[in-house]
Structure 1
């Protein structure tokens, strides 16, 4: 009786390209007439025979059938592994692995496709640019922005360099992810205002992404940049700037400065991007004086600071709790038509409100709102906490209503501040009202909120209400 093993033997007898159509006919005949459920190995032998005979459409059809059959398998590389195992006995061609990657991509099994790509390359086979482009296209269509850059980075590491189709796919991914303007702005600060090519945009973004993730040592980043330089995929000015930026980001600030000075002696032109990188690093290390010296040097050289340059200084001053420095930088930004980022302003608000300077910060917020600044709920939370510490209930409620007007959802800390402030001012009924509003959000009141209300009611002699709140607190699963 015909079985799968016998089918394999017959197929191998028909492995010569001249017999490939007979092999395919026998494969289908044995399925329909003999009701044989072909195993993975049998499929793979047939696929290899078809590939060797360049019957690629037939090979693709069998591959798709096999992948649909095995997609629930516990092993994601079972088909690739079997194809590798059958490869020597069929005298096949490496293109079979390209067809495999393309078939996975067509079925939108993109994670598996990339895993199989790595697996196949580990066994000595290369994947073509066409297959990478096919995979990148499907990944981009699926909005898998992390995966698309992982695949692209792997391509460069393997010395498979992009063509126009690749770059078009990657630019589309940057657009869809909302990152295109960000990288174009960064390049403008390195090279000045000019139309960056798709290659420069894509490959610069790759380096920025690698640095942000912090998953690669400096030496590997330099190797990556050298490969891009060798293929003219990135200009020297950008490459040198990114090498210095990489050293700074990876924690070698002083050696980064030494490298910069050496490169400048060799003719490297300084730019706003490099100065801002150094200023940010000095601010993160608390070396605000050196950051200011660089800011002055930058302006003396005719290099224009931009929003991020000032943001670094604001955060640097805020972390050192230097009120005047924060406000001075913020005012300078406003004077030249810039506004701080929400992150830097929130850092300033948090630090200065904690020091009791809530009025000065709130006045700056008013100015910023007139300039188009968009505060976050964190901005209001810090301000409310600052005014609550001073028991300025009118300012607290004013900010709360402003949050509502802006369709922001006050969090636990906002309600805690409001209720504590109202209780300190003896307005227990109003505090109770905000407890009720809070429950309707829905937010679970904290132990602090309940204890504040209970203490307030007991102090006023309202023991029944205090007992009710005590029982309510005991019955709820609440924040500790």
Structure 2
């Protein structure tokens, strides 16, 4: 019988006990000979203790499977010591990065992480160190100050004289879009007497610009100036962009002279930034003047320069001028992009000239510039606006044939189009298709669906949908809530609309003049003009300026009820704050006067509106003919 390779002590104990029990007390004990025949258990020696040296040897020999097995038994102190030893041996930082990846996060605290970051920072590319810092920040195992202090400690112990570690920490916060934490690190660096590199400062300035935190950008820029951190052309370009975002175009232009005075030559990006700012503000004249200055200084415009000018020109409705700019762009040897063509296509779509829009789509294809999803979105939207649903569906099929997947904007355009045409079933099918494809619906999607339900008097479903939206974590905006309020007002449920107005405060959504006008119109239709009047006062208290629709709504409400004295009082209030009466104003007043049989006064108003250049419409004539009964002769004599 073969001796087993391993032997369980519990089996041995059980066997021995049973043997003695069976033999009884009268039997003689085992002889040495008989004992020698019993198989003896084999004992494995305990594994040697894990030391920094053994761990270090395992890392150097890349025994990653073994290290991963040991990971639960490793302590932060042991790991830190091994890392210091490896640094002394000038081990490859890639080994350190691989080692850290094998360790369970619970075996590490902030100290070994920061030592590893310090060693990895020696690599030619900062990418790995940045990734590790971002991982440490996201683990939330230490406060920002603790991370900074441990980085400082590792920097001192590894005798790193440069600011690289602190720079990387700030850059990590910037990449995570954590603007305040980046600023906090900047000040902690300053307190240690270490100045960040200009590239790090530029990274912070760019973040503040993207987040529209222009106040922070100016505070940082002032600190850089005080600490004598020398700016670069890139720095100046960012600050010019900040000024443009703030709408300070004149100062942005003056900044060019400031940077030239400091010995820096503005480049094409400098001029492009300000030209884009002018175009965004609708100041095409200023943009073209700067364009000429730029060329006079020998700075050649690029595709972005022309793209900004073309976009600004299209926004002003000057599509033919934009096409001329495209021609000049190509004469300069510049190749237009899909974005450039999309701008022109959008311009013609807004103008209602679909034929020219498709001409430019075909032209870009001929030049080898492939239409993008935004190209199709623009054309599909224009087709829906023209009521050409079948052609819009064909465009979707064309997209898919070319391997382009519709995005959330595409679906929103389709859903909105079908909602406007009253096809709720098709709109909801598209919503379900979005979800099946993993495309998250947006507030725009749900606003369209709520709108179509309201128009079809299906407000119970609209309310249920709104509850589902909230449950999915989609934050409603004022446009979505206005659609829901409009549906309830149209269905004479003004109380629900008022309840939603109160809920907006809880949702932290600010109502606008559309919100109030919609509810006021609902109240006036129900004869609750005094309640509507109170809403105007509430608007003013909340800092929301009533517009001409607000006042016309009240005038119409009073006129419909025959309270002409109040109607004219509102008209006078409207005039006192600078709103001129509109066609709607006159029609409402004339309707009220005819209802109260004040025909002479109605005639006077008709002459007044014509003298002010307001052309009466069919509603005006119908009201007068029905109310006064003087027929066409009266209308003709009044308008002559």
Give the structure-1-normalised TM-score.
0.52
Deviation of the 1:70 alpha carbon: 10
TM-superposed CA distance for 1:411, in Å, is 0.4
Q: Which residue of 1 aligns with 2:212?
A: 214
Contact persistence 1:380–1:403 (CA under 8 A): yes
Q: Is the 8 A contact 1:117 1:127 kept in 2?
A: no
Rounded Cα–Cα distance in structure 2 between residues aligned with 1:111 and 1:299? 48
Unmatched 5+ stretches in structure 2: 1-75, 86-99, 120-131, 437-445, 470-483, 485-640
**Helix, strand or coil for the counterpart of 2:143?**
helix
**Aligned residue among 374, 377, 384 for 1:381:** 377
The aligned counterpart of 2:275 is 279
CA distance in 2, matches of 1:226, 1:356: 55
- 1:197-244 per-residue CA deviation (whole Å, 9 max, x = no partner) reads xx77666444333322333142422433675745xxx64x44444444
Contact 1:214 1:250 in 2 (8 A): no
Q: What SS does structure 1 have at the residue aligned with 2:334?
A: coil
Contact 1:323/1:352 (8 A) holds in 2: yes
Distance 1:369 1:225 in 2: 50
Query: Is the 8 Å Cα contact of residues 344 and 360 (structure 2) preserved in structure 1?
Result: no
Residues 282 and 291, structure 1, Cα contact 8 Å, conserved in 2: yes
Greater Rg over alpha carbons, structure? 2
Kindly provide the CA deviation profile for residues 166-211 of structure 1, in whole angstroms up to 9, marking residues without a partner as x: xxxxxxxxxxxxxxxxxxxxxxxxxxxxxxxxx7766644433332
Tell me, in whole angstroms, the C-alpha distance in 2 between the residues paired with 1:278 and 1:259.
10
2:300 aligned with 1:304, yes or no?
yes
Question: Hey, what does 1:339 align to over in structure 2?
Answer: 336
Are the structure 2 counterparts of residues 264 and 365 from structure 1 closer, same or farther at C-alpha, using a change threshold of 3 Å?
Answer: same
Pairing partner for 2:81 from 50, 54, 57: 57
Question: Per the alignment, do residues 222 and 327 of structure 1 end up closer, same or farther by CA in structure 2, a change over 3 Å counting?
Answer: farther
Aligned equivalents of 1:339, 1:347: Cα separation in 2: 11
1:270 alignment partner, SS class: coil
Distance in structure 2 (CA, Å) of the matches to 1:106 and 1:155: 13
Q: Mark the CA change 1:57 to 1:148 in structure 2 (over 3 Å): closer, same or farther.
A: farther
Alpha-carbon separation, structure 2, partners of 1:221 and 1:299 = 30
Which TM-score applies when normalising by structure 2?
0.41
Is residue 383–residue 389 contact of structure 2 (8 Å, CA) maintained in 1? yes
1:116 CA displacement: 2.9
- 2:136 corresponds to 1:109: yes
Is the CA contact 2:237–2:273 (under 8 Å) kept in the aligned structure 1? no
Change (3 A) 1:325 1:156: farther
Deviation string 1:69-93 (CA, Å, 9 cap, x unpaired) is: 898xxxxxxx99xxxxxxxxxxxxx
- Verify the 8 A CA contact 2:329 2:336 in the aligned structure 1: yes
Give the CA RMSD over aligned residues.
5.6
Where do residues 250-329 of structure 1 align in structure 2 (5 Å cutoff)?
A: 250-264=246-260, 268-329=264-325
- Which residues of 2 match residues 409-420 of structure 1 at below 5 A? 409=406, 410-414=410-414, 416-417=416-417
Would you say the 8 A contact 1:113–1:135 is kept in 2?
no
Query: Is the 8 Å Cα contact of residues 108 and 138 (structure 1) preserved in structure 2?
Result: no
Kindly tell me: are residues 111 and 392 of structure 1, through their superposed partners in 2, closer, same or farther at Cα, counting changes over 3 Å? closer
Q: Distance in 1 between matches of 2:347 and 2:245?
A: 25
Change (3 A) 1:263 1:451: closer
Tell me: CA distance 1:246–1:143, structure 2 relative to 1, closer, same or farther (3 Å). Answer: closer
Task: Kindly indicate whether the alpha-carbon contact (under 8 Å) linking 2:419 and 2:451 is maintained by their aligned counterparts in 1.
Answer: no
Q: Which of 393, 397, 400 is matched with 2:396 structurally?
A: 400
CA contact (8 A) 2:268 2:300 kept: yes
Note the alpha carbon deviations across 1:117-174, whole angstroms, 9 max, x for none. Answer: 4258799x8884769867988999x999326998777655524457xxxxxxxxxxxx
Secondary structure, counterpart of 1:411 in structure 2: helix
Deviation at 1:403, TM superposition (A): 1.9
Query: Which secondary structure does the structure 2 equivalent of 1:109 belong to?
Result: helix
Higher relative contact order (CA 8 A, sep 6+): 1
Residue 291 of structure 1: CA displacement?
Answer: 0.4
Give the Cα separation in 1 of the matches to 2:269 and 2:174: 29
